[in-house]
């Protein structure tokens, strides 16, 4: 970790058993099969008692979320999923269950066009739509007031969490703590990793993104990209076609720059912020983490293993990140 010696670090031992150290095994087993079933079973009461909330986020934008209040109103934790995940993703539910048992209120927020929310807004989701989520946070803190508002984001949700924290002084919400797990810092680098790494990851996101766009066009038949989607096979092709047609950006590079997080943006954080990342992450490179900041608000936890938001700690497929969230929050 010497390359990050200008930023404070918390040191934790995370050493998964040998059979779980392979990065692809970590990623796959964290999100499908037995673990997914176990988490659905463990969180059945949490899900059954959650209040479904449609938030008015301003500018005619609506987002879908699920709220589980605690007995007191001391701490509310807002959980943000990754790209093409949702409030029902295994890692979100696992964290929600852990933190709910600690006595926190939980709000699991869906981004636009994630979860069952494609019908709520006519415009398509893109990752630079920060105003959707700043508006959501302002509504949440007004509608569900708590003494502490804390934010946890995974992957793209980690990117949103960091940008929400950076932009906090401009908006009507005050954060007590932010945690970003494997956050996308440099979208161009992440897109390069997906396009040039193990094909399983790009194929997964192509399939999920296409499915989401087909759901969108079913709700809003004016979208006419169906023939293109049936033919395309890569994320680059999808970005190059969709970005100039359905976002304010003229090309893919300009769009990816729009939600890139520069080091100097993290230099003056007002909120204590922790980034948890893994050196073997095949999607978000740890080399893009900030390295030269002098900030007493930013803390980085960098592990050798963990893959992308997986961090399985044993053969019961329990999450080491859940343990860290319990401590940090």
State the Cα–Cα distance between residues 66 and 61, nearest whole angstrom: 17
pLDDT band, residue 1 (cuts 50/70/90): very low
User: Cα–chain-centroid distance for residue 14?
Assistant: 22
What local confidence, expressed as pLDDT, does residue 5 receive? 42
With 90 as the cut, is the pLDDT of residue 267 above it? no
Residue 21, CB-side half-sphere exposure with 13 Å CA sphere: 8
For residue range 31-64, list pLDDT tens digits in order: 888 999 999 999 999 999 999 999 999 999 999 9
Q: How much is the average pLDDT of 215-220?
A: 98
Question: Domain segments of the chain: what residues?
Answer: 2-187+266-328
Residue 142: is its pLDDT beyond 70?
yes
Rounded to an integer, what is the distance from CA 277 to the centroid of its chain?
13
Say which CATH topology domain 2-187+266-328 has. Answer: Rossmann fold (3.40.50)
> What percentage of residues in the chain have a pLDDT greater than 70?
96
In this prediction, residues 101-106 reach a mean pLDDT of: 97
For the chain, give the mean pLDDT: 94
Considering only CA atoms, which of 271, 263, 270 is closest in space to residue 291?
A: 263
Ramachandran category for residue 60: left, alpha or beta (phi over 0 → left; psi -120 to 50 → alpha): left
Interval 25-37: pLDDT, tens: 999 999 888 999 9
Question: What are 9's strand-pairing partners?
Answer: 300
Find all residues with CB under 8 Å of 151, minimum gap 6, and list them: 77, 78, 80, 161, 164, 165, 175, 177, 178, 179
CA 84/CA 228 separation, integer angstroms = 20
Asked if pLDDT for residue 11 goes beyond 60, the answer is no
pLDDT at 6: 42
pTM of the model: 0.95
Phi, psi values for residue 107, rounded to 5°: -125, 115
pLDDT of 266 > 60? The answer is yes
What pLDDT was estimated at residue 21? 93
267: CB partners within 8 A, 6+ apart: 293, 294, 295
Q: What per-residue string of b and e applies to 128-153 under the rule 16 or more CB within 10 Å gives b?
A: bbbebbbbbbbbbbeebebebbbbbb
Query: Of 19, 326, 260, whose CA–CA distance to 127 is shortest?
Result: 260
Neighbouring CB atoms inside 10 A of 328's CB total: 17
């Amino acid at each position: 970790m010497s390359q990050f010696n200008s930023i404070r670090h918390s040191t934790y031992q995370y050493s998964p058993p040998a059979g779980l150290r392979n990065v692809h095994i970590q990623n796959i087993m964290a999100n499908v099969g037995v673990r997914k079933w176990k988490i659905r079973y463990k969180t059945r009461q949490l899900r059954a008692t959650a209040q479904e909330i449609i938030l008015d986020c301003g500018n005619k934008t609506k987002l879908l979320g699920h709220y589980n209040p605690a007995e007191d109103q001391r701490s509310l934790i807002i959980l943000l999923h990754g790209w093409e995940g949702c409030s029902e993703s295994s890692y979100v539910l696992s964290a929600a269950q852990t933190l709910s048992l600690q006595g926190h209120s939980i709000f699991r927020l869906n981004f636009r066009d994630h979860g069952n929310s494609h019908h709520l807004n006519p415009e398509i989701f893109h990752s630079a739509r920060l105003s959707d989520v700043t508006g959501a946070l302002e509504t949440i803190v007004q509608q569900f007031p708590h003494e502490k508002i804390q934010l946890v984001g995974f992957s793209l949700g980690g990117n949103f969490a960091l940008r929400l924290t950076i932009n906090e002084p401009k908006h009507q919400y005050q954060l007590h703590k932010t945690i970003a797990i494997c956050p996308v810092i440099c979208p161009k680098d992440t897109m390069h990793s997906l396009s040039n790494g193990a094909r399983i990851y790009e194929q997964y996101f192509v399939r999920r993104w296409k499915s989401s766009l087909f759901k969108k066009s079913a709700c809003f038949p004016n979208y006419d990209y169906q023939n293109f989607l049936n033919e395309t096979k890569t994320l680059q092709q999808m970005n190059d076609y969709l970005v100039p047609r359905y976002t304010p950006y003229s090309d893919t590079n300009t769009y990816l720059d729009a939600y890139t997080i520069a080091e100097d943006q993290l230099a003056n954080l007002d909120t204590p912020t922790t980034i948890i990342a893994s050196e073997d992450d095949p999607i978000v490179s740890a080399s893009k983490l900030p390295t030269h900041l002098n900030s007493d608000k930013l803390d980085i936890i960098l592990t050798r293993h963990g893959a992308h938001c997986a961090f399985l700690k044993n053969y019961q497929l329990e999450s080491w990140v859940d343990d860290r969230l319990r401590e940090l929050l």
